[in-house]
């Protein structure tokens, strides 16, 4: 493993971008002060280089970028994190998520009025770079439809880049890791009807606690 964890650096860059921070005011530090406490100096430096690259390519300070540009770079950084994580798992000996199914999920485009079902859900998740295994589809459908996310359009409206990044950020801050695909969708379902970022973070934390409790209960049943 490299001394500089590129996943951590990219995640830190994503946090700076999504929180609208001013890079010129951020110091590389080892202190416990936000926003750099959990990242090494090397990771912080690499993250700031990424942000500098964005500013240079746009010839605009980060906090003056239009919302469409911010969303574009948020999506690019989030996709980079996923790619790096998949590569790390592959090198550690874990297989990638069913590539044949993933290709199938991305082949068809559906209309916003189409209902969420075993065909439309995998395709929409794949478009978000989430994907899912065949055995997870039924459970995810129950979670979403139970929250009245019953159509492709409702799922697309719910799954904004900002909400997806809030989920990733909350998991990283609370659990020290990024959420898996099932946790992403389960957390997304809890955000129905909420436009307040603080409320969304609290809902995600409650979901994390619920999932941990459920896993502990399953382990107890096995003992």
Residue 185 token pair: 């969708």
Residues recorded for the chain: 223
Q: Given a cut of 60, is residue 20 above it in pLDDT?
A: yes
| Phi, psi (rounded to 5 degrees) for 151 | -130, 165
Q: Given a cut of 80, is residue 13 above it in pLDDT?
A: yes
* DSSP-derived 3-state class of residue 39: coil
The counts of H helices and E strands in the chain are 10, 0
Please provide the average confidence, as pLDDT, over all residues in the chain: 78
| Average pLDDT value for residue range 53-79 | 84
User: Rounded to whole angstroms, how far apart are CA atoms 60 and 56?
Assistant: 7
The pLDDT of residue 95? 45
Q: Given a cut of 70, is residue 125 above it in pLDDT?
A: yes
Q: 90 versus 41: which is more confidently predicted? A: 41
Q: Given a cut of 60, is residue 102 above it in pLDDT?
A: no
DSSP string, the chain: --SS-HHHHHHHHHHHHHTT--GGGPPP--SS-TTSTTS-HHHHHHHHHHHHHHHHHHTS-GGGS-HHHHHHHHHHHHHHHHHHHHHHHHHTTPPPS-HHHHHHHTS----TTSBP-TTHHHHHHHHTT----GGGHHHHHHHHHHTT--BHHHHHHH--HHHHHHHHHHHHHHHSS---HHHHHHHHHHTTT---HHHHHHHHHHHHHHHHHHHHHHHHHH-
Per-residue confidence band for 122, with pLDDT thresholds at 50, 70 and 90: confident
The pLDDT tens digits for 178-198 are: 888 888 998 999 999 998 999
DSSP string, 110-130: --TTSBP-TTHHHHHHHHTT-
**pTM of the predicted structure, to 2 decimals:** 0.56
| Average pLDDT value for residue range 197-221 | 80
Closest of 55, 57, 45 to residue 6, by C-alpha: 45
| Average pLDDT value for residue range 42-55 | 87
Residue 128 token pair: 């978000």
Q: Given a cut of 60, is residue 50 above it in pLDDT?
A: yes
The pLDDT tens digits for 143-165 are: 899 999 999 999 999 998 888 88
Q: 81 versus 214: which is more confidently predicted? A: 81
| Phi, psi (rounded to 5 degrees) for 115 | -70, 150
Most confident of 26-40, 119-133, 147-161: 147-161
């Amino acid at each position: 493993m490299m001394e500089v964890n590129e996943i951590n650096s990219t995640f830190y860059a994503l946090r700076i971008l999504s929180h609208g921070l001013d890079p010129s005011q951020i110091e590389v530090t080892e202190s416990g002060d936000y926003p750099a406490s959990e990242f090494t100096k090397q990771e912080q430096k690499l993250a700031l280089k990424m942000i500098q690259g964005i500013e240079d390519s746009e010839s605009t300070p980060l906090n003056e970028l239009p919302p469409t540009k911010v969303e574009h770079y948020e999506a690019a950084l989030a996709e980079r994190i996923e790619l790096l994580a998949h590569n790390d798992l592959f090198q550690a000996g874990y297989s990638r998520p069913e590539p044949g199914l993933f290709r199938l999920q991305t082949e068809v485009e559906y209309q916003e009025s189409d209902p969420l079902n075993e065909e439309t859900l995998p395709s929409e998740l794949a478009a978000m770079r989430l994907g899912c295994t065949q055995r997870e589809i039924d459970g995810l459908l129950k979670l979403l439809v139970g929250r009245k996310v019953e159509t492709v359009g409702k799922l697309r409206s719910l799954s904004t880049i900002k909400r997806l990044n809030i989920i990733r950020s909350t998991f990283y801050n609370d659990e020290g890791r990024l959420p898996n695909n099932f946790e992403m969708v389960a957390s997304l379902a809890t955000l129905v009807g909420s436009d307040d970022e603080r409320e969304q973070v609290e809902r995600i934390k409650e979901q994390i606690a619920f999932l941990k409790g459920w896993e502990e209960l399953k382990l107890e049943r096995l003992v």
